[in-house]
Amino acid sequence: MKVDIEIERSITVALPPEKVRPLLDDIEGTVSRFPKLKKLTRVAKDQYVWELSTIGSRMARIAHDVTYGARYQRSADGNELSWKPLPNKGNASIAGAFRVVEHKAGSEIRFKVHGELRDVPVPLIYRLVAPPFIQGKFIHLVETFLERTRDALLDKNAAR
């Protein structure tokens, strides 16, 4: 079964944008905070293959080990890191963007992702509930990732 994913979330960080932007240059360091990341493999400059641990519920037999490749690109103004899927890499195609925007409380980190998971094994009885269930699991992962990113930025800047 194919499952579409579309998520937009943001988080505010009490730091000015110039203290937040460096996370966009450290792809590996930033991605390493993503929950369920089992392995990140660099395949070329700014190109990586993600392997995630099982997402879903093995008990409900709605579980998927997601693997996908992405090519990353920074915007000319340095405020955005975007990615597009690498063809023929894994069982998913994921694109998105990570943007730093000035905010009255410091900075806002905006995260947007969309794509599809392919070959998700779902029993017939769960075909209707599987997409929102899996989307919900991904939303939780993204929210946790943003919280970890904010905390890492605050910890790094508090140590200075």
Token pair 């966009």 is found at 24
Predicted confidence (pLDDT) per residue in 8-65, tens digit: 999 999 999 999 999 899 999 999 999 999 999 999 999 999 999 988 766 666 778 8
Token pair 């792809």 is found at 27
Q: In order of start, what are the domains of the chain with their CATH numbers?
A: 3-158 (3.30.530.20)
Q: Which two tokens stand for residue 23?
A: 């996370």
**Cβ proximity of 144 and 9 under 8 Å:** no
For residue 129, the 8-state DSSP code is T
Q: Beta partners for 71? A: 47, 84
Q: Which of 53, 36, 28 is nearest to 143 (CA)?
A: 36
Ramachandran angles phi, psi of 36, nearest 5°: 70, 5
Q: Beta partners for 56? A: 63
Indicate the burial class of 158 (C-beta count within 10 angstroms; 0-12, 13-18, 19 or more). Answer: exposed
Predicted confidence (pLDDT) per residue in 108-137, tens digit: 999 999 999 998 888 788 788 888 888 999
The predicted model scores a pTM of 0.91
